[in-house]
Structure 1
């Protein structure tokens, strides 16, 4: 069974979601690993810098002691240069150590001890050098022989060892943690990459299978459509012939109905003339001697027969209008459309001008919300469309309030939309489509009409390659919305047929 497009879409979406979750997990894991690595890196950097600073401090104290020993042995002040440089740098090294301990109480205690030892050592060195400079060599050497300076250096080395040994252990721990995180990061990247490759491979497999199915379906469709153009042409010709036949039938029926209707109307006139003669004759005779039959005849001539003739005339007049409407619809289908540029602003202003007097008598205002877009279409058809809509809007005003009719237009999605809105009595929702059917009307039938106008409007609008719809609420008003192409384009075949 071929896989449907919706199934393929669901599978592809599931795979994409899985890949997205995998990628999100990799990103989150990578972010966490990067943050942890950064923290470990800062810690390793601090410990390394602390170890270097401790070794530098010990080296500086040793350099100062070496310079002192050389001066005491030779009394040559050249040997004091290493001493002076080392003593000057000790304070900066101690400040660096304080900065690197980062608030650790144990490390801070060791640094404080080193500060004291360094100060005592520098004091011992400075004292011996001062005595030697004063010429008191034996006193200076006596201080050295006490071993105080050696003990201070041994204490400093032990303090530095207390600071460096935990730092080395911590450094080793941090390096192992960094190595483990690097290994974890590598595995996450490998597994995530493999999973994504698996998802992508599955998606490709589904796409390839679906593509094959599409190609098979396309070949089948191609096989079915090899003769599609010919079939469409044949069906179009059949439809055109049927449409022409319907129009001819409507014309013939209307024409054949008109002949007996004319006879009925003619004989009705003759009957009315004969009735007038009978009535005149009865009027000349005295009514005193009439019997019951004569009285009944007088009543029939005076009341019943004129009423019957009135009904006949009303019916024949209505039937005549219906026949004329059917003929108009049948002729409209065969009329050649003549597209031309039309300024809808000027066009509708002219159309509204012919209705302003009638609307004014009914306390109705008609407004055009310009500027309106222009188009290329058939002018006569548009005159009939908007004429019918304006006539209906005025006809079905609500007498309980002043009437208001608004015409507006806009461009939307490649079409031009024109609206005729009114605040009339409105149309029930169930009748929104029925009113466009032939001989169908909505609401109370208290206005003249046969239910043809809106059917005529829809026929014309569809011939103009557009559509007409209505939005309406009873008691509030209606909006008739017409959508038309910017340019009415007639196909060569249709143009040739209409010609």
Structure 2
């Protein structure tokens, strides 16, 4: 029992001693930390002062250099009478005041440097006033008077005064820089000592904590070690599994990123090529218009106008082609609407013809949309040319819809003069436009029907049973 009590007393004394030593170590650590913070603030202030001194010295040298540039520009102008020498003078003239203002902001308001900067501003203003006077005389052509002012050497005296002020200010900043550097070195020394003290206190605290833990909690430490080993093994397994999952995720993201990048790149290139083709066709159309204007033969001019109109229609289709997400399909309604708008603008140049459109929101393959645009352009162009002879106005109605049987139907109707079915068939069939319409329509099983409508004009219906109306996803599956 006595031994047990002695052990308890020894343990109690050990705890008191360790508690006292730990309190001392904590006090040392706390004091070292306070000292380190204080000295760190001093180092920061010294560093800021050194930076400020370097900025002031740099601005002083800049001001002196600008004054020299202004003087060189003045003398070059007066000696050579070449106005280009005024460029450095004008640039220096603008910057001198800004640099001196920057110096005034950098120095303390009530210091000796502030007095020197004020003297520098006055001296610079007097020197610039003389330079301005001679330059003004030179601009008025009174170069002799300007040179006489320079020969008085008043400018040299002013520049010497400015140099003396700048040298005095630089010397003061050099002395301040030396003092700041010495103070910064001392602060860094004390800071290093404080850090070393803090590290020493930390080491002492760590040693005391280790001793206390080792003496009083040996059994707990053993169990903690065993638990730590189990925990490390579990963490190692978790890390391995996490690493595997992370690698799998990165590989999946990399694959998705590459696929998305390639898709975006292909889409951008395809749209760029489509747009450039449209622009090039528009340029060809413009060149044909220029060539047409130089022709005297009406037949040749008409042929060029027809060819230019067809090229312009294809150009419009290419430039207005907006591909879907699958890069293969497009909305036919927006493309055909753009085509008739261009044709309406062209028709208004010579007469008042109204062209209206009615298009279902149908999605077709991009190449099919271009073919539809060409067919529609030929039909509307023929109506503009032939349907309103002898008239200055008229109406053309265009539609592309699904009929009651679910077959795409392209319709062009006008209220013009109509046509003679017996006389017009051979002429219409022999025309290049009619051949284009028939050949392109035949690709889709096109059935062309023409008749004289109630308004006295012509109605043309083209059934396109083999034209595939699809959405973007189905088109990708069909062509994949």
Same fold (TM over 0.5): no
| TM-score normalised by L of structure 1 | 0.41
Q: Which entry has the higher C-alpha Rg, 1 or 2? A: 1
TM-score scaled by structure 2? 0.42
